[in-house]
Amino acid sequence: MIELEGLTKRYGETLAVNNLTFTVEPGVVTGFLGPNGAGKSTTMRLVLGLDHPTSGDVRIDGRHYDRLRNPLTSIGALLDAKAVHGGRSAFHHLLCLAQSNGIPSARVHEVLDTVGLTAVARKKAKGFSLGMAQRLGIAGALLGEPRILMFDEPANGLDPEGIHWIRTLMKSLAAQGRTVFVSSHLMSEMALTADHLVVIGQGRLLADTSMADFIERNARSYVRIRSPQRERLLDLLHGAGVTVVESGGGVLEADGGKAELIGELAARHQVVLHELSTRHASLEEAFMRLTAESVEYHAHSGTPLGTWTRRAARQEWGGGRRKGA
């Protein structure tokens, strides 16, 4: 496990990591989410002793990184796929890592095979695509068969087959009882991969909870309804105590889990429905809502995402036109 206690890192005026306390448990994939500049990479560097905390503490299975005898056999990490000596082949890069960590060289062939780089093992790393470099970084992380794995944006540069592969790999590592801590901006991918989430914004902890709980708490499931007899339907729903939001374009949204009730009500009163569909909240919606106030970098042309998010959140959670109970 990885344990953080009051972990804080300041770079001059910037408080990159602000009093983080959480534990990354074994046996599950823990997703580490946050907007750009939230402090994810800094946190991971602190875990690996690549940076020193301003205050607080981080331990790997109860020890500081610099007290681990052969670190690669305790924790394997991929932080920056391009941080490889470009003149070395994939094979030699991994061999150097193995030799300096007391890992048998036979393991190099195994991990090359696991990540699908055997055919290019003798090619120099500087000629690798980002996707190949990611795979090489993952091979390095797996080399010492560590109990703990930490990946910073592992799907970066991977094609759909590669993304599917990394998802399966992470799940199988967790199923073996290992600790898997992974950051990503790919919300749909995270939703399929992670069991648990740690979310930070501007260095601070925003959530530390299961995926299901995170979505339930931070986003809303609803039933989407369209009807040519909208006013009649609104009256019926109002009478039945169903909370309805008018979302524009003649679409009504009723709070979750009531599709059957609405369908039966409409049938009983011979109200025609053109659409009745349950919409499940997504991780992306939940993430955007939770982090809307801590997004540091916005685009200011086209559709400004942060502004849109805040406005949408306000409408959805307070200022929206609501009808019914």
- Describe the strand order of the beta sheet including 179-183 as a list of residue ranges: 75-78, 148-152, 179-183, 29-33, 196-201, 204-210
Please return the burial class of 58, using the count of CB atoms within 10 Å of its CB with bins 0-12, 13-18 and 19+: buried
Q: Give CA–CA dist 7/279, Å, rounded.
A: 38
Q: Using the rule CB under 6 A, is 40 a contact of ligand ATP?
A: yes
Q: Using the rule CB under 6 A, is 14 a contact of ligand ATP?
A: yes
Selected from 34, 146, 201, 306, the binder of ligand ATP by CB under 6 A is 34
Q: Using the rule CB under 6 A, is 150 a contact of ligand ATP?
A: no
**245 SS3 class:** strand
The residue with tokens 């540069």 is: 157
CA dihedral in degrees (168, 172, 174, 176; nearest 10)? Answer: 180
Which residue number, 144 or 157, has a Cβ lying nearer to ligand ATP? 157
* Structural contact between residues 93 and 85, judged by C-beta atoms closer than 8 angstroms: yes
State the first-to-last Cα distance of the chain, in angstroms, to the nearest integer: 47
Q: Using the rule CB under 6 A, is 176 a contact of ligand ATP?
A: no
Q: Using the rule CB under 6 A, is 309 a contact of ligand ATP?
A: no
Q: For the beta carbon of residue 120, count every other beta carbon within 10 angstroms.
A: 18
Least gap, CB of 41 to ligand ATP (angstroms): 3
Residue 101 tokens, joined: 């960590």
* Structural contact between residues 251 and 223, judged by C-beta atoms closer than 8 angstroms: no
38-46, 59-67, 186-194, 312-320 -> range binding ligand ATP (CB under 6 A): 38-46
Which residue number, 218 or 294, has a Cβ lying nearer to ligand ATP? 294
Which residue number, 193 or 227, has a Cβ lying nearer to ligand ATP? 193
Please return the burial class of 145, using the count of CB atoms within 10 Å of its CB with bins 0-12, 13-18 and 19+: middle
Q: Using the rule CB under 6 A, is 234 a contact of ligand ATP?
A: no
- Binding-site size for ligand ATP (CB under 6 A) equals 11
Selected from 18, 30, 41, 184, the binder of ligand ATP by CB under 6 A is 41
37-45, 88-96, 228-236, 265-273 -> range binding ligand ATP (CB under 6 A): 37-45
Q: Using the rule CB under 6 A, is 42 a contact of ligand ATP?
A: yes
Least gap, CB of 202 to ligand ATP (angstroms): 8
Selected from 20, 28, 29, 39, the binder of ligand ATP by CB under 6 A is 39
Q: Using the rule CB under 6 A, is 306 a contact of ligand ATP?
A: no
33-41, 160-168, 172-180, 269-277 -> range binding ligand ATP (CB under 6 A): 33-41
Selected from 13, 36, 66, 160, the binder of ligand ATP by CB under 6 A is 36
- Give the residue ranges of DSSP H helices in 48-89: 71-74
Least gap, CB of 53 to ligand ATP (angstroms): 13
Q: Give CA–CA dist 99/82, Å, rounded.
A: 21
Q: Using the rule CB under 6 A, is 38 a contact of ligand ATP?
A: yes
Binding site for ligand ATP (CB under 6 A): 11, 14, 16, 34, 36-42
